[in-house]
Amino acid sequence: IYILAIESSCDDTSAAVLCNTKVLSNVVATQEIHKKYGGVVPELASRAHQQNIVPVVHQALAEANIDKKQLSAIAFTRGPGLMGSLLVGASFAKSLSLGLSIPLIEVNHMEAHILAHFIDDEGMTAPTFPFLGMTISGGHTQIVRVNNYFDMKVLGETLDDAVGEAFDKSAKLIGLPYPGGPLVDKNAQLGNPRAFDFPKPKVEGLNFSFSGLKTSILYFVQRETKKNPDFVAENITDICASVQFTILEILMDKLKLAVKQTGIEQVAIGGGVAANSGIRARLKDAEETLGWKTYIPKFQYCTDNAAMIGIVGYLKFQEKQFTDQRVGAKARYAIGS
């Protein structure tokens, strides 16, 4: 089975070709245009997708050494995401499936962040059911009970900002360019995580909150800069390490609670923040210290990519879960709906 997958939910245009569960190509065109605005500008994103989609698909097919006539089906991200961005991928996928007379498969982007673990790639093992999935990305923070590929239940989620936003907004407050998450990670590796104390939010159960952290960082930076205008520059690694430490504590506390409540000790992370070196190390440690079995995707399957859409496409193809040409994009699209 050859699946062509298309992902265009936010600001990355991506296309991948899979042969069954193996990734033959996974091309990602990152849109640089948003950097100078300090965040994703939806109108510019959809325009850039329109420019990128044809060359990106061509490149994915070429790298996979597959002719479009060999394709078994086309999978695309139906949602959630930015409407204008989603529409570009959806329209392209629909027309190509019509032109080639092959099935069309719709994929939920957040389910794909979790199911990326089923890609067959060296160094990755597939979790067994049931497991706990934690989606940590630019728009979501959820703990999900995964009973089967298409049987998922959200146990808790953020009440305000997503964890990726917490990284990016904190980064902005200390003058790092968008997207700041990876830069906080890089600086944090050189700093002292206990240098500064930031309060953890008090949220009951398995829900999260990150907006308070942003505010306390803002006040902290304002206060310290008044005393020393060069405070941020002089302490950038310690600030990043402390911010990241606080975020990781919040995530790990909730994961521990979820494991306690469900008795499930298999934990898989997914989404852009799963690329963070700190969370990867924490999860690895948890195997030793807490006796969990943990699953961490390869970097290229954490941030937005079409390979994860392709693996869901393959799994749905097996079950003949096809969709027809009337399907529309869905900006809000809950997991398991």
Binding residues for Fe cation: 109, 113, 304
Q: Which two structure tokens, joined as six digits, stand for 19?
A: 């042969």
**Residues numbered 65-104 forming contacts with ligand ATP, rule: CB under 6 A:** 80-81
For residue 80, cis peptide bond before it (omega within 30 degrees of 0): yes
Among 272, 297, 310, 313, binds ligand ATP (CB under 6 A): 272
Which residues from 296-335 bind ligand ATP, rule CB under 6 A?
A: 303-304
Q: Could you tell me the smallest distance in angstroms from the CB atom of residue 11 to ligand ATP?
A: 7
For 249, the token pair is: 């504590």
Q: Determine which residue in the list 14, 85, 235, 276 makes contact with ligand ATP, applying CB under 6 A.
A: 276
Q: Are 295 and 269 in contact (CB under 8 A)?
A: yes
Are 208 and 247 in contact, with CB atoms under 8 Å apart?
A: no
Q: For residue 23, which phi and psi values (nearest 5 degrees)? A: -90, 120
12 touching Fe ion, by CB under 5 A: no
- Rounded CA gap, 217 and 170, in Å? 7
* Backbone φ/ψ region at 173: left (φ over 0), alpha (ψ -120 to 50), beta: alpha
Q: How far is the CB of 200 from ligand ATP (least distance, A)?
A: 18
Piece in contact with Fe ion (CB under 5 A), picked from 35-43, 129-137, 156-164, 193-201: 129-137
Cβ proximity to Fe ion: between 18 and 273 the closer is 273
Q: Which two tokens stand for residue 252?
A: 């790990």
Of the residues 176, 275, 296, 312, which one makes contact with ligand ATP according to CB under 6 A: 275
Q: Tell which one of 31, 77, 135, 137 touches Fe ion (CB under 5 A).
A: 137
Binding residues: 109, 113, 135-139, 168, 181, 185, 276, 304
3-state secondary structure (DSSP) of residue 22:
strand
Q: Which residues bind Fe ion (CB under 5 A)?
A: 137, 304
